[in-house]
Structure 1
Amino acid sequence: MALDAQGKAEAPHTGTTIVAVTFDGGVVLGADGRVSTGTYISNRASNKIQQLTDSIYLLRSGSAADTQAIGDYARYFSEQLAAELGRAPNVSTVAKLVSTMNYQNKEMLMGAMIVAGYDEQKGGQVYGCPIGGSLVQEQWAVDGSGSTYIWAALDDGFKEGMTRAEAEQLVVDALSLAMARDASSGGIIRTVTLDKAGATVKYVPGNEVPTWFEDLPAPGTAMAVG
């Protein structure tokens, strides 16, 4: 375990990349599969997309233990609320539930989350839910250590009224770009697409993740050797 200058144990450094993008009629969620503690990679195919209801999912980044606990509680309370209402809760209601738990435990949690889903009232929706308790609805959201590398790519790639295929491709491209540059993101890619037809889960194995080598020097050149 790493120690700081005072000889105390340092908190483990964790990282990931999570993305959610709305399109005309739904929303696409995606995450890489790498789990790391410092320089040690403990899992390359982890599932960071947690189902809360049939049409609402939670994207998790940061401490796996913290965000899994929040997700488990959110799923439990969502099931209880559905039993009381006689119908599934709205995306905004579940997102508010997650943000409330984040705020009430902000001194003890580490990480950031995104709640995304589909309901008949508002269609596909994305809510950024950082640990501090903020709740912001957005057309697209990204978080995790790899997010700093792809903000511009998503800002440029997102368009109003995107088709389902365009949104799915944007999520895969954004994740693969982050995985190419962020040492804490990698492994595989998982995506979930939500619309009125339900949820569609896809898996991109590591050997099929798009690569981005066009900006690297050609092998054998002076720049590559240097």
Structure 2
Amino acid sequence: MEKHYTDSKVKGVSTGTTILAAVFDGGVVIGSDSRASIGGDYISSKTMNKVIQVHDRIFCGIAGSLADAQAVTKAAKSHLSFHSVQMESPPLVVAAASVLKDLCYKNKEELQAGFMTAGWDRKKGPQIYVVALGGMLLNQQVTIGGSGSTYIFGYVDAKYKPNMTREECVQFATNALALAMGRDNVSGGVAHLVVITEKEVEHVVVPGDKLPRFHDE
């Protein structure tokens, strides 16, 4: 996860991740790598799933301090569960993103975590919202985050197109994560993908040895 420490003894040490979400025709894909690291190059876990479910058809990709992110998503999950009981219907994706935004903004001096929220709801269909560290909320069709994202902005700009098929979008997300993991030394492991549509939620795991290979590898 990505976090910058300011203590003089560990100044300059950081951790990393790669997360991504993209809307396609009828649904949305959200995914991440699986490597969690602390102390720069020290890898604490190779199997971390950074795509967290906060409601039936709403998921969050997390970047930043793992402890902070888990605390925020746990609080958001509880809030949304209570909200759905009150409203007698599933929460909207924007409602979930707004809960995360409020939690981040109210605790912006203490938290070091950012989120992307992706899901499907009855009102607007597939959606993606980005919640920045300070609590800013943005609606986007495709977004990337974490240290690995710096290597794939060009690929995402060139290859993403609206109204892709499910298969095209899954391949796009897999390629993007593979490219980031190939360049960013603190992103790696497997690719976790969640495909969310009106009919279903499908979890896809692409092992490291099954990820696409590119010419420089």
Could you list the runs of 5+ residues in structure 2 that have no partner in the other structure? none
SS in 1 for 2:109: coil
Q: Which residue of 1 aligns with 2:98?
A: 96
Matched to 1:21, the amino acid is A
Deviation of residue 8 (structure 1)? 3.8
Deviation of residue 211 (structure 1)? 2.1
Deviations 1:48-107 (A, max 9, x none): 010000000010111110111110001000001001000111000110110111111111
**Partners in 2 of 1:97 and 1:11 — Cα distance?**
32
**Partners in 1 of 2:8 and 2:109 — Cα distance?**
23
Could you list the runs of 5+ residues in structure 1 that have no partner in the other structure? 217-226
Q: 2:61 aligns with which of 48, 59, 62?
A: 59
Q: Which residue of 1 aligns with 2:24?
A: 23
**Partners in 1 of 2:160 and 2:139 — Cα distance?**
16
Aligned pair 1:204/2:206, yes or no? yes
Report how many aligned residue pairs link the two structures. Answer: 212
Deviation of residue 9 (structure 1)? 4.2
**Partners in 2 of 1:147 and 1:122 — Cα distance?**
27
Q: 2:77 aligns with which of 75, 82, 85?
A: 75
**Partners in 2 of 1:140 and 1:129 — Cα distance?**
14
SS in 1 for 2:90: coil
**Partners in 1 of 2:101 and 2:189 — Cα distance?**
29
Pairing of 1:118-157 with structure 2 (within 5 A): 118-157=120-159
Matched to 1:35, the amino acid is A
**Partners in 1 of 2:131 and 2:12 — Cα distance?**
22
Structure 1 pair 177–9 and aligned structure 2 pair: CA distance change class (3 A): closer
Superposition RMSD in Å = 1.6
**Partners in 1 of 2:162 and 2:44 — Cα distance?**
38
Which structure's CA Rg is the greater one? 1
Deviation of residue 176 (structure 1)? 0.3
Q: Which residue of 1 aligns with 2:107?
A: 105
* Percent of residue pairs bearing the same amino acid type: 39
Deviation of residue 111 (structure 1)? 2.6
Structure 1 pair 7–152 and aligned structure 2 pair: CA distance change class (3 A): closer
Deviation of residue 207 (structure 1)? 1.3
Give me the TM-score of the superposition, normalised by structure 1.
0.90
Deviations 1:10-35 (A, max 9, x none): 48522100000000101001100001
Q: Which residue of 2 aligns with 1:181?
A: 183
**Partners in 1 of 2:101 and 2:182 — Cα distance?**
31
Q: Which runs of 4+ in 1 moved over 3 A?
A: 6-12
Aligned pair 1:163/2:159, yes or no? no
Structure 1 pair 45–166 and aligned structure 2 pair: CA distance change class (3 A): same
SS in 2 for 1:146: helix
**Partners in 2 of 1:94 and 1:48 — Cα distance?**
17
Matched to 1:91, the amino acid is V
SS in 2 for 1:14: coil
Structure 1 pair 105–11 and aligned structure 2 pair: CA distance change class (3 A): farther
